[in-house]
A and B are shown apart, each in its own frame.
Chain A
Amino acid sequence: MNKILLILKREYTTRVQKKSFIILTLLMPIILSAILFLPAYFMSMNDEQQHTIAVYDGSSIFLGRLESTNLAAYKFIPKDEYLALKKDIKQSSYYALLIIEPNFLTTNAVQIASGNNIPYDLKSQIQDKIKSIVEKDKMAEVVRQTAIPDLEKKIELTKTHIRLDTIKVGSNGDSQKSSTEIGMVLGYIFGFMIYIFIFLYGTMVMQGVMEEKQSRIVEVIISSVKPFQLMMGKIIGIALVGLTQFALWVILSMAIFGFSKNFYPDHSKKQQIQNIMEQKQDIIQQDSSEAQLDKMQEIIGMTDTVNFPLIIGCFIFFFIGGYLLYSSMFAAVGSAIDAQEDAQQFMLPISLPIILSIMVMMSALKNPEGSMAFWFSMIPFTSPIVMMSRIPFGVPAWQLLLSMALLVITFVGMVWVTARIYRTGILMYGKKPSWREIGKWLTYKS
């Protein structure tokens, strides 16, 4: 036991001190937050650019009614200027030319001509603007004709935004707001993390075993400790490296998230959004923004109701369980081969169930209660990933416990088998063994 501890300590400290570990640990949260924040940041930056657009209004409906926005300043031009401009809009100082034909009210169509590609935002803004003016005019006409007092206000009041709250009812009758979206996102993140960790640290175990075999230190070491102790020391040591990295990622991400939340989007961004919305005075736009804000608030509220201790606890359990199961197989592969090139043939049968798990996970996220999700979250080779993706949706306790128990039983059995392959494999130099030979190693007396 003492010797496993020594081995574990060496495996852990040499890896944690490696430059690659430190760099990856620091860089990952930065990259992650960059992925999350940069698009939002750039979106708020882009709004600043205002283009001047020439408007020829043959219908005379819009004269003076197109106010400048953050994206565009409108300048109305007479017909002769329009005809001249039409020919070489590219050479002119205008960004684009908006053409409203005299028969606009019958066609309901306008054209925009430009030498540039008109950005989507600008296009939809112009579209919305014209639409709202036309609707306003039509409404005014209806109001005038019917002469019902406050009709406009009344119609406005008929517009209703519906919120759909999903409620998760617990077994003891208490209810909690839940969100399928949140479940999916969390399920995806945690399932995928287990996938990455198993591959990343599983292959690290394999590399470590191969390094010992290739450098020929292994015979020196197993004259001091049992091969099983060496294998377990290595596997557990590397698991701790993984957990350390995970913990650091969580802490760093929270720090970065908290830091950037304080200092950047909140005040300035909110103000910006409000400004834009005031400028627009656009019913539909405002409506959808409102819905989006609702959603955001809902999701933020919902994250408080997610059972994070359970999820994190399960994550650590399934990470360790899945990792032990697979890394012991990776260790056996590392012991059986002499060179990296030979790894492929033996890696395949190990990688297949992991990749299958990811595929099943995708469908389990859509239907976490389905029979496919159920069975694959019971099979120990796929359960770490598939079960992890189901947990944010809530999984009955008996299923969780059964899945955990099956995983434990399987990895104990697997460690027994792989340890027997390992202790023979590490001393076999030269030719690449066949599956049959590896099978025979199981029966050797230690």
Chain B
Amino acid sequence: MVLFSAIDVSKTYASQQALTNVSISVEQGTIFGLLGPNGAGKTTLIRIINQITAPDSGSVYFEGRPLKSTDISQIGYLPEERGLYKKMKVGEQALYLGQLKGLSRHDAMKELKMWFEKFEITPWWDKKVMELSKGMQQKVQFICTVLHKPQLLIFDEPFSGFDPINADLITQEILRLKNEGATIIFSTHNMESVEQLCDHIALIDKSKKILDGPTTQIRENFKTNTFDITYRGSLNVDEAYFAAKYKILSHEQNGHGNKLHVQNLHDGTSQDLIKDLVNQVEIISFNEVIPSMNEVFIKVVKQNI
């Protein structure tokens, strides 16, 4: 089931086109990666989902019907530009933010106690925010985002400011929330975490969506028929037959566990390559090279001029 969808959404600021006919569709219970270079229009789209701003044209649907103002309580948003009241106490502030999302003071308190214990930050309750480190503040902000158990969570660069241990903690929490049925829109420049977390991605560049699809399929689509092979024995790659079929990208021969990085120039399958190789050498490992999201990102954005 589609939890959220935007259809043909456009938005223009004074001199700048922020979004041009962008459509996305987010399946319930999945993590949707919203990618794009700086200034591409991601934040505008996220603000439209949060009803902070409205599209000039196009429509936005939540649970299959047009998004309405009360849906705010079903959305949790961790903006990239985020902060807390510096002079307010951590606990009071978290309670306040929870209540603004529609929780009663009592429920907010109950949830907060649970989260503070889970993140082992109960002693911070009466501290002022300005006494906390940036990472500590981020933890509090994460809690405030998920506190009201929203159906749709939007994380914009959730890992910035975290050390690897806390980043892992947050990753585990995001995955747990997904398993419990939450739908997550995830915007980041960290492509490793996209590969790790996202089921589906959309890439926006210069206000337009230029790529959309399941993460694994997109990476499949960007395959270049390249393979990594480790073998034993001696391989003669200079034969005209071999050179016409394959492009050697790198070839390391050190007698033991030789490595070959090769691209199949024609539409031959991996089977063909294996056949060509097994005649000469003993194959230890054979891997098809699937491009990382990082490579896909750079390739797509560079092409989109």
Contact = CB atoms under 8 A, between A and B. Distances in A.
Interface of A: 3, 6-7, 10, 14, 211-212, 215-217, 219-226, 427, 429, 437, 440, 444-446
A117 to B, nearest CB: 54
B84 A6 contact: no
Given A10-B96, A215-B84, A445-B56, A220 B14 contact: no
A3 B96 CA distance: 10
B83 A215 contact: yes
A217 B84 contact: yes
A219 B49 CA distance: 13
16 contacts: A6-B100, A7-B100, A211-B85, A212-B85, A215-B83, A216-B83, A217-B85, A219-B79, A220-B82, A220-B83, A220-B84, A224-B72, A427-B53, A437-B14, A444-B53, A445-B53
A217 B56 CA distance: 26
Given A216-B82, A219-B82, A224-B101, 4 more contacts: A6-B96, A216-B83, A220-B82, A223-B50
Nearest to B156: A219
B164 to A, nearest CB: 24
B285 to A, nearest CB: 49
B96 A222 contact: no
Contact of A224 (B54, B83, B100): B100
Given A215-B86, A445-B56, A220 B96 contact: no
Contacts of B165: none
Contacts of B88: 14
Contact of B79 (A212, A223, A444): A223
A8 B87 CA distance: 17
A223 B82 CA distance: 12
A429 B81 contact: yes
A14 B141 CA distance: 20
Contacts of B84: 215, 217, 220
B72 A219 contact: no
Nearest to A222: B52
Contacts of A427: 47, 52-53
Contacts of A216: 79, 81-83
Contacts of B47: 427
B144 interface: yes
Nearest to B154: A223
Interface string B60-98: 000000000100100101110111111110000000110
Interface string B33-64: 00000000000000100101110100000000
Contacts of A14: 85, 87-88
A225 B79 contact: no
B6 to A, nearest CB: 16
Contacts of B96: 6, 10
B99 interface: yes
Contacts, number: 66
A219 B82 CA distance: 7
A72 B144 CA distance: 79
Nearest to A437: B14
Interface string B98-112: 011100000000000
A3 B101 CA distance: 9
Given A3-B100, A6-B99, A224-B97, A219 B52 contact: yes
A427 B56 CA distance: 18
B148 to A, nearest CB: 9
Nearest to A10: B96
Nearest to A443: B14
Contacts of B87: 14
Contacts of B144: 220
A215 B144 CA distance: 16
B111 to A, nearest CB: 15
B100 A225 contact: yes
Contacts of A437: 14
Contacts of A445: 53-54, 56
A352 to B, nearest CB: 28
B265 to A, nearest CB: 49
A128 B144 CA distance: 81
A446 B97 contact: no
A266 B36 CA distance: 80
A130 B15 CA distance: 88
A220 to B, nearest CB: 6
Nearest to A446: B54
Contact of A223 (B14, B52, B54, B56): B52
B81 A221 contact: no
A440 B77 contact: no
A444 B11 CA distance: 10
A57 B78 CA distance: 96
Contacts of A446: 53-54
The 10 closest A-B pairs by CB, nearest first: A216-B83, A215-B83, A224-B100, A223-B77, A219-B79, A223-B50, A217-B83, A216-B81, A224-B101, A445-B54
B81 A219 contact: yes
Nearest to A6: B99
Nearest to A428: B13
A356 to B, nearest CB: 33
A221 B100 contact: yes
A334 to B, nearest CB: 15
Contacts of A217: 82-85
Contacts of A223: 50, 52, 72, 75, 77, 79
B54 A220 contact: no
A223 B83 CA distance: 13
